[in-house]
Structure 1
Amino acid sequence: MNILIIYSYPHHDSLNGNILDTVLQSIDKQHTVTTIDLYQDNFNPVLYFDKVHRRRDLQFDPETQAYRDAITHSDHIIFIFPIWWSGMPAILKGFIDRVFVQNFAYAYAPKKLIPIKLLKGKTADIIVTHDTPYLFAKLVQKDYGNVLKKQILADMCGIKVNKMLSLPNVKNSSLNQRQQFLKKVANYFLKL
């Protein structure tokens, strides 16, 4: 299986960096794994339109072609990112805006409102960390990766999300809790 990891954290000496390392070490070597590190790539998240850059032509944008190719060649995508301000980091949101574009990730049939999901057949997993206590995140602030899971990947693109792993309340978590989460991540990806 071709696996694509999309990693969105500013540095590797972090919990998210440990998660990335755990995933990479746990995936069976029979799989081909490619990692996109958005910060290391200095990915430009700014979506812009003008007379040269038209929205309807984004699927041909040479700046994002390599990323679209990586998605096209993947069978499974793993997203690793923190939740900041109740949502994904701006760099990942910009990646979605610029790469998961119309006529690549989804399309609209003439006179129909429901999108045609162009990435059907692919699967994904989402791993998030955040500082919000679990119950507050679950009951009050309901994004925490769900917008990516449901509205973007499933509803628009046709990508089935197998699992969403979340470590809440990171700032108040103990070393043991973080290690247990890393074990959970490792055990899950050993079975991929």
Structure 2
Amino acid sequence: MNILIIYAHPNAESFNYTILNTLKNSISSQNNTKILDLNKENFDPVLRFDKENKRRDLKDDPATLELRSQLTWADHLIFIFPIWWGGMPAILKGYIDRVFAKGFAYEYKGTLPVGLLPGKTAAIITTHDTPGFYANFFQQDYGKVLKKQVLKMCGIKTNTFIVFPFTRNSNQQKRNTFLSKISAYANNL
């Protein structure tokens, strides 16, 4: 299976980075794996429209050609990111805005969206500092927008959603337990 890991955290000493390393070291070598570290790649998340840059041309933007090729290549996508202010980091949102373009990732048939990336699956792995009960009952996003309003619209089925809540109050035992869960998930790919 072709696996694309899309990683969005700027600190190489973060728990998210430990998750990334645990994941990549646990995926079987029978799979083909690529890692897209948006911060390390200095991805420009800013979407620009003007006389020369039209929204309708995003699907053909040469600046994101390689990123679109990676999505086409992948059978399975794994997103790793922290939840900040209830949602994904700006660099990941910019990646979605610029790469998951109309005419490439989705189109409309009348008023209904049709996904152009069918047959692909995804996993979302997030961390956040909010206590789990609060995030589950009072917050709206916490990674759900990516699953329900982006990936689903593009024809991608999210089959795994793994969350590590209340990171700031976690101890090493809780982190190790979570990393074991990440390893078990990766071993089954």
TM-score of the superposed pair, with normalisation by structure 2: 0.99
- Residues 1:185 and 2:182 aligned together: yes
2:111 equivalent in structure 1: 113
1:12-35: per-residue Cα shift (whole Å, max 9, x none)?
Answer: 211000000011011110000001
> Where in structure 2 are the equivalents of 1:58-77 lying within 5 Å?
58-77=58-77
- Residues 1:157 and 2:154 aligned together: yes
Amino acid paired to 2:83: I
2:48 aligned counterpart, secondary structure: coil
> Where in structure 2 are the equivalents of 1:18-33 lying within 5 Å?
18-33=18-33
1:144 equivalent in structure 2: 142
- Measure the CA separation in 1 of the matches of 2:182 and 2:150: 23
- Measure the CA separation in 1 of the matches of 2:158 and 2:114: 18
- Measure the CA separation in 1 of the matches of 2:14 and 2:46: 26
Amino acid paired to 1:113: T
- Name stretches of at least 5 consecutive residues in structure 2 with no aligned partner: none
2:81 aligned counterpart, secondary structure: strand
2:41 aligned counterpart, secondary structure: coil
2:2 equivalent in structure 1: 2
Amino acid paired to 1:121: G
Give the number of aligned pairs: 189
* Alpha-carbon distance, 1:188 to partner: 1.0
Amino acid paired to 2:176: Q
* Alpha-carbon distance, 1:11 to partner: 2.2
1:137 aligned counterpart, secondary structure: helix
1:54-90: per-residue Cα shift (whole Å, max 9, x none)?
Answer: 0000001011111000000000000000000000000
1:13 equivalent in structure 2: 13
- Residues 1:80 and 2:80 aligned together: yes
2:122 aligned counterpart, secondary structure: strand
* Alpha-carbon distance, 1:142 to partner: 2.4
1:157 aligned counterpart, secondary structure: coil
- Measure the CA separation in 1 of the matches of 2:162 and 2:12: 19
1:119-169: per-residue Cα shift (whole Å, max 9, x none)?
Answer: 110000000000000010000002110000111101x10100011000000
- Measure the CA separation in 2 of the matches of 1:31 and 1:187: 15
TM-score of the superposed pair, with normalisation by structure 1: 0.97
- Residues 1:102 and 2:102 aligned together: yes
- Cα RMSD for the two superposed structures: 0.6
2:120 equivalent in structure 1: 122
* Segments of 4+ moved more than 4 angstroms: none
- Measure the CA separation in 1 of the matches of 2:174 and 2:93: 28
Percent identity, please.
54
